[in-house]
Amino acid sequence: AALAALSHAFKSRTVKKTYLAVTVGNPGRRVVIDKPIGRHPVHRQRMRVVPDPHKRDTRGLAPKDRMVDTRTPAQAGRRAVSFVNTIIFDNKLSLAQVRIQTGRTHQIRVHLQDRGCPVYGDDVYGLTDWNRKLAKTHRIDRPLLHAYTLELDHPITGEPMSFRAPMANDIRQIATAIWPQGIDERPDLFEP
């Protein structure tokens, strides 16, 4: 019964998932990214934001020339919603908090890349030159993305539960370089 209730909580999206990401650039404060994600048409292991053919400017076209969406649901992608809030930006890198409403494959990485602020260290969706610098300077060779909190109701009692995972040392190292006073101002983010 508990496992079924827990599975239902994830499926019905009542579980709140929050991540911390170090990004190249500033994704912004209180940003809602509501863009569908689907498989890349050529590189099938990759995901991408699926362009919306209806958002094209068709004001000057005759009705017969306007685009009709003939894509299959798989080609149209699946709805993906991310809430992004930059905590600090040092004119190069940001420490951002990202909460996801949906849980699509690579959702955060794809949404941030589409916004022009890829996750630092992400070899699939990120910036090669920046990632080489990260690997060479800090010996970090992974995306700086961290599952920070998970909030859900207990599957049997209904009591709210919250779990927090401390930042990994490599992310803490870069976050501290971006925001040295962060340890004092937001100890909840930096404590081991």
Mind listing the pLDDT tens digit of every residue in the chain (192 residues)? 778 888 888 888 889 999 999 999 999 999 999 999 999 888 888 999 998 766 655 555 555 555 544 555 556 799 999 999 999 999 999 999 999 999 899 999 999 999 999 999 999 999 999 999 999 999 999 999 999 999 999 988 999 999 999 999 999 999 999 999 988 999 988 887
CATH code assigned at 170: 3.30.2350.10
Query: CA–CA distance from 24 to each of 51, 79, 106, 175 (Å)?
Result: 23, 25, 17, 12
The two three-digit tokens of residue 107, written as one number: 């959702």
Quote the domain boundaries for residue 36.
2-51+74-190
Q: Do the Cβ atoms of 21 and 144 come closer than 8 Å?
A: yes
Instruction: Tell me, yes or no, whether 134 lies in a domain.
Output: yes
For the entire predicted model, the pTM comes to 0.83
Instruction: Tell me, yes or no, whether 181 lies in a domain.
Output: yes
Instruction: Tell me, yes or no, whether 143 lies in a domain.
Output: yes
Instruction: Tell me, yes or no, whether 59 lies in a domain.
Output: no
pLDDT at 69: 47
* Torsion angles phi and psi, residue 178, rounded to 5: -70, -40
pLDDT at 51: 84
Instruction: Tell me, yes or no, whether 58 lies in a domain.
Output: no
Helices 128-138 and 169-178: crossing angle in degrees, nearest 10, is 110
Instruction: Tell me, yes or no, whether 63 lies in a domain.
Output: no
Instruction: Tell me, yes or no, whether 57 lies in a domain.
Output: no
Instruction: Tell me, yes or no, whether 165 lies in a domain.
Output: yes
Q: What total number of domains does the chain contain?
A: 1
Burial of 37 per CB tally in 10 Å (0-12, 13-18, 19+): buried
